[in-house]
Amino acid sequence: MLVLRFWFVAAAAFVAAACSVQPVMAQTASQPASAEKVDQLIKLLDDPEIRALLNNQAAAPAAEPSTDMSATEFSAWGNKIREHLRGLGQAIPQVPSEFMRAGGTIAADINGHGPLGVFVLFLAMVLIGLGAEWLFHRIGSRSRLHAALARTDGASENPLHSAGRHLFALLAPLVAFSLASLGLFMAMTWPPLLDALMLPLLLGVIACRFVIRIARVLLLGPSSAKDIDASSGLVPIDRVSGLFWYKRIFWFACIFFAGWALVGVMAALQIAPAVRGVVGYALGLGLLLVSIETVWNRPAAIARPHGRGAAEWALTFYLCLLWAIWVAGLIVILWVGIYALILPGLLRATTAMAKNAFAGEADVPGSGNPVVEVLVERGARAAIITLAVVWLGFIISKRSSMFTGEGMTDRIIQGVLAGAIILLVADIIWQIAKAVINRTLERARVSTADSAHAARNGRLLTLLPILRTMLAIVIALIAVMMVLSGLGVQVAPLIAGAGIFGVAIGFGSQTLVKDVISGVFYMMDDAFRVGEYIQSGSYKGTVESFSIRSVKLRHHRGPVFTVPFGTLGAIENMSRDWVIDKFTISVGYDTDINKVRKMVKGVGAALLEDEELGPLIIETLKMKGVEQFGDYGINLSFAMMTKPGYQTTIRRRAYMMIREAFTQNGVVFASPTVQVAGGDPSAAAAAAAQVKTAMDQKKLAEGGEGA
């Protein structure tokens, strides 16, 4: 809720600016010079000595003004503040007499009509505008009724579309009001003073009504203000909070624009600047009271467990300090304090409104429109910051004595403003690129049954994070160079020095350069992607992530290898397209080979029918034939084609099914046998045990090599 409080402080600041600028801009009329004084001036200019003195002064070099802040300048600054406050104190007793004089001026210049006649004319213009607004509302009521009936189907409407439609419905009648009241007044001929008096009054009414209507759309939405169960406004807050802030904005806008119009009327009546300042500061007290009441009664303060506390006192003191700074005439410091208070909250509110308006569906990855969201959010933030910086620069150039109008000062101010705009544009470009990349990554992480689409998603998951990092570096470097160039810094020597420094770094870090360049070529060749199992030399594992110079491989036993691209060498990718798995089984010499072939064919058909493993098999298990004649039996060769990564699981299931089939059909696996000459049974048993031990050791050795 603090976000919306900042809007009130911003409005108070605008009142401060409007009221403080008017006294400065008003100038008293000077008395015309007499003919005698003009003749004396001409005679002095004809004097040869005066001419020589003027020529010498023109030829002498002008002394450069000092821009250093010394104790003397601070003293002069303090004297100006005391003089300003003293003038306000002296102007307070003059307020009644100035207003009485203004009433006489109105009566004298507008055919004897006093302030009451001006008020009656103003009221008549307002009533004419209200009549035009009512007529427009009646004409458009039928189309709004049709639109309401069309929305009764229960479908949810985007908050941005709802707010835009309701904003048009509320602001279009105000446009009719403005054209009828202000347009009618401008179309007719009035006395000059009456024209100067009526224009700020009508503009104040129109602007106030526009601000109140916009606040209603943002905070309450199209539903009735009596419904407090839910809020359909663009700002993501509940209905009760929306009503609270809407009422405060209503009173704040009324006081603000009333003060603005009154200051304009006083300027038209040529009331003394000091008196105008006193009236403006008095109206500023009304804004201060509304702001303090908002701080203490806002829903966030009431909802806290311990109630109101130090935060409210600090904000109250800060608001009173801003009002005192305004009264003292320190406009530059006032605006710096206002910016420090309102900009963070205002930017957060803009972000929240953009996300609320363009939020996609929570259960649909990559839904919504991130480009439009970024353009609206960052564009609004950029507009706010740009206006703040430009206005602050204007105030500083007009008000501050630290700037003398020198060329260097002008270049610095222009460079800062241009740098801020460049950084904002760079931020918008980067945010758009990041949003598009992140949305593409979210969609690529969604699993799919299409192998081609899955391969494309894997490639995107591999390349887009690297592209995102490179874009961030490039955009940041270009923006910084442009900002430095705008500030007057010679960028060419920096680029040349960076090039020389880069060459030196390249010679000193050849391995790093090799890793980066190798990684670029690996990406161009599409050698591997995130999630694929690869092997390179002694390194093997599943690719988990990339950096600019290395790849992280997760071994199937758990360890993670961080391997620089320069040391990878040849890559064996085990996760592309398909895998052929081969194995051999030994059967006895008396086995029927054709019978075994038929059994294996049945096992292959059963594997294809399996609901879990069938979709993973490309070509089912087949017996290729006799591989060789071994020492103890016939070695039969088998093969199958599967999707990458699933061959081990399918082979284990095939082993189990082949064993069951052999057992049911009486096929015996080959095993070593020993025939010992002689009739000693113990010698034969000892020889068989020795052969079995040798075979077991051989199998253990082969198993260790395979692992």
pLDDT digits over 423-453, tens only? 888 888 888 888 888 888 887 777 666 666 6
Work out the average pLDDT over 598-606: 88
Least trusted range by pLDDT, from 85-89, 156-160, 370-374: 156-160
Report the C-alpha gap between 45 and 62 in whole angstroms: 22
Work out the average pLDDT over 544-560: 83
**Structural domain boundaries of the chain?**
2-26+95-357, 579-671, 672-707
Work out the average pLDDT over 486-500: 71
Confidence at residue 26, expressed as pLDDT on a 0 to 100 scale:
36
Confidence at residue 411, expressed as pLDDT on a 0 to 100 scale:
65
Extract long-range pairs of 568-571: CB within 8 Å, 24+ residues apart: 568/518, 568/522, 568/536, 568/537, 568/539, 569/536, 569/537, 570/536, 571/522, 571/527, 571/528, 571/534, 571/535, 571/536
Confidence at residue 287, expressed as pLDDT on a 0 to 100 scale:
87
Residue 600: CB atoms within 10 Å: 23
Q: Please report how the helices 331-358 and 2-25 are oriented relative to each other, as an axis angle in degrees rounded to 10.
A: 140
Q: State percent of the chain over pLDDT 90.
A: 0
Tell whether the model's pLDDT for residue 511 goes beyond 70.
yes
Tell whether the model's pLDDT for residue 63 goes beyond 50.
no
Which carries the bigger pLDDT value, residue 503 or residue 181? 181
Helix (H, G, I), strand (E, B) or coil at 560: strand
What strand order describes the sheet that includes 617-629?
579-587, 634-642, 617-629
684 Cβ contact list (under 8 Å, min separation 6): 674, 676, 678
Confidence at residue 223, expressed as pLDDT on a 0 to 100 scale:
52
Report the C-alpha gap between 221 and 238 in whole angstroms: 11
Tell whether the model's pLDDT for residue 129 goes beyond 80.
yes
Tell whether the model's pLDDT for residue 678 goes beyond 60.
no
Confidence at residue 8, expressed as pLDDT on a 0 to 100 scale:
40
Tell whether the model's pLDDT for residue 500 goes beyond 80.
no
Work out the average pLDDT over 87-103: 82
pLDDT digits over 236-250, tens only? 777 788 888 888 889
Confidence at residue 432, expressed as pLDDT on a 0 to 100 scale:
84
* Residue of 675, 702, 669, 667 whose CA lies nearest to 691: 675
Confidence at residue 69, expressed as pLDDT on a 0 to 100 scale:
47
Least trusted range by pLDDT, from 338-347, 351-360, 523-532, 624-633: 351-360
Instruction: Identify the band that residue 49 occupies on the pLDDT scale cut at 50, 70 and 90.
Output: low
Instruction: Identify the band that residue 18 occupies on the pLDDT scale cut at 50, 70 and 90.
Output: very low
Instruction: Identify the band that residue 4 occupies on the pLDDT scale cut at 50, 70 and 90.
Output: very low
What is the CATH class of 579-671?
A: alpha beta
pLDDT digits over 618-670, tens only? 888 888 888 888 877 888 899 998 888 788 888 888 889 988 888 888 888 88
Least trusted range by pLDDT, from 166-175, 304-313, 501-510: 501-510
Least trusted range by pLDDT, from 20-24, 107-111, 177-181: 20-24
How far separated are the first and last CA of the chain, in Å rounded? 63
Confidence at residue 452, expressed as pLDDT on a 0 to 100 scale:
60
Instruction: Identify the band that residue 227 occupies on the pLDDT scale cut at 50, 70 and 90.
Output: very low
Asked whether 600 and 621 are in contact (CB, 8 A), the reply is: yes
Residue holding tokens 């953009």? 354
Which carries the bigger pLDDT value, residue 107 or residue 611? 611
Least trusted range by pLDDT, from 144-148, 330-334, 416-420: 144-148
β-strand pairing of 634-642 with 617-629: antiparallel
Helix (H, G, I), strand (E, B) or coil at 430: helix
Confidence at residue 341, expressed as pLDDT on a 0 to 100 scale:
78
What strand order describes the sheet that includes 539-546?
560-564, 550-554, 539-546, 533-536, 572-573
Tell whether the model's pLDDT for residue 327 goes beyond 70.
yes
Work out the average pLDDT over 386-397: 74
Average pLDDT, the chain: 74
Confidence at residue 3, expressed as pLDDT on a 0 to 100 scale:
39
Tell whether the model's pLDDT for residue 76 goes beyond 50.
yes
Confidence at residue 62, expressed as pLDDT on a 0 to 100 scale:
44
Report the C-alpha gap between 306 and 90 in whole angstroms: 46
